[in-house]
Amino acid sequence: MRINKYLADKGIASRRHADEMVEAGRVKINGCIATLGANVEEKDVVLVDDVPVSREEKTEKYYLMNKPKGVMCTVADDRGRKTVMQFLPPDAGRVFPVGRLDYETEGLLLLTNDGDLAFRLTHPTSEVPKTYMARIEGTMTEKDLNRIRSGIELDGVLTKKCKAHIVETNKAYTKVHITITEGRNRQVRRMFEAIGRNVEFLKRISIGNLKLTGLDRGEVRKLTENEIAYLKGI
Ligand code: URA
């Protein structure tokens, strides 16, 4: 099995993050620094940061967090900034965030040690709808929003068609609910920036059927069995 899948199965990181760990030289197989795409078997000794990866089966863990803004969506930050890991209960173990919310964005974030689920949910083909509440500076019209709905060119590639509707608008700001099925870097902010609009505030309020309701900023809860089954069925 590929080293990235092996580390994901062991709950160490998502496949993408596992690749980053391999590239950074943090992973060893039988004493040698692993290369991207290396294969590994159960009998091999795998170390991450010189700590052996357990050969035992892991218990899968799933958390839903209301990420506050001003927090890094990563397991460790090289500049010492606060990370989402600091909001988890002490017994959470080696879970990692599923996808990213940028530093300034708050709202619904999943964390798990289930690498397969994280891989499927964040894969470009999964098309899981993610809804955000965006507060845009100034008044917006349906015409402005139509440009967002029909696709915006980011890095030379059009964003997929998306749903968006105005929740409230006045001279100072416009609140928009926008649902996208992709997860490109800072996608919502960049879509509005591309039409000359500034996003003052951004919060993810749902991923598929999972909602943020009932959690204060910084609060975390375990997913229910039903919610886990739902995510596995996506
Ligand atoms: N879009 C953004 O601009 N930021 C996020 O964190 C998520 C989606």
- Label each residue of 157-192 as H, E or C: EECCCCEEEEEEECCCEEEEEEEECCCCCCHHHHHH
Ligand 1 centroid to 31 CA: how many Å? 39
Instruction: Measure the CA–CA gap between 209 and 214, rounded to whole angstroms.
Output: 15
Ligand 1 centroid to 10 CA: how many Å? 28
Q: Choose between 52 and 193: higher pLDDT.
A: 193
Determine the pLDDT at residue 57.
60
Q: Are 4 and 18 in contact (CB under 8 A)?
A: yes
Which atom of ligand 1 approaches the CA of 101 most closely?
6
Sign of CA dihedral 150, 155, 156, 160: negative
Strand (E) or helix (H) holding 220: strand 220-222
Give the tens place of pLDDT for each residue, 41-53: 988 999 988 888 8
Instruction: Measure the CA–CA gap between 190 and 134, rounded to whole angstroms.
Output: 12
Determine the pLDDT at residue 56.
63
**Burial class, 30, CB count within 10 angstroms (exposed 0-12 / middle 13-18 / buried 19+):** exposed
pLDDT classification of 137: cutoffs 50, 70, 90:
very high
Active site residues: 102
Instruction: Measure the CA–CA gap between 137 and 206, rounded to whole angstroms.
Output: 23
Ligand 1 centroid to 71 CA: how many Å? 13
CA torsion, ordered 63, 66, 72, 73, to nearest 10 deg? 40
pTM of the model: 0.82
Ligand 1 centroid to 85 CA: how many Å? 19
The DSSP output letter for 216 is -
Pocket residues: Cβ below 6 A from ligand 1: 101-102, 105, 186-189, 202
Model confidence at 14: pLDDT above 90: no
Instruction: Measure the CA–CA gap between 88 and 69, rounded to whole angstroms.
Output: 16
Please tell me the residue having the least CA distance from ligand 1 atom 2.
186
Give the tens place of pLDDT for each residue, 139-189: 999 999 999 999 999 999 999 999 999 999 999 999 999 999 999 999 999
Strand (E) or helix (H) holding 100: none
Lowest mean pLDDT among 81-95, 161-175, 190-204: 81-95
Mutate to test the pocket of ligand 1, among 65, 103, 121, 132 (most ligand atoms within 8 A of CB): 132
CA distances from 31 to 36, 38, 48, 136, 228 (A): 16, 14, 11, 53, 37
Please tell me the residue having the least CA distance from ligand 1 atom 3.
186
Model confidence at 75: pLDDT above 80: yes
Q: State the chain's maximal CA–CA distance in angstroms.
A: 65
Phi, psi of 13 (to 5 degrees): -170, 165
Determine the pLDDT at residue 59.
85
End-to-end alpha carbon distance in the chain: 24
Please report, for the chain, how many H helices and E strands are present, in that order: 6, 15
Phi, psi of 174 (to 5 degrees): -130, 130
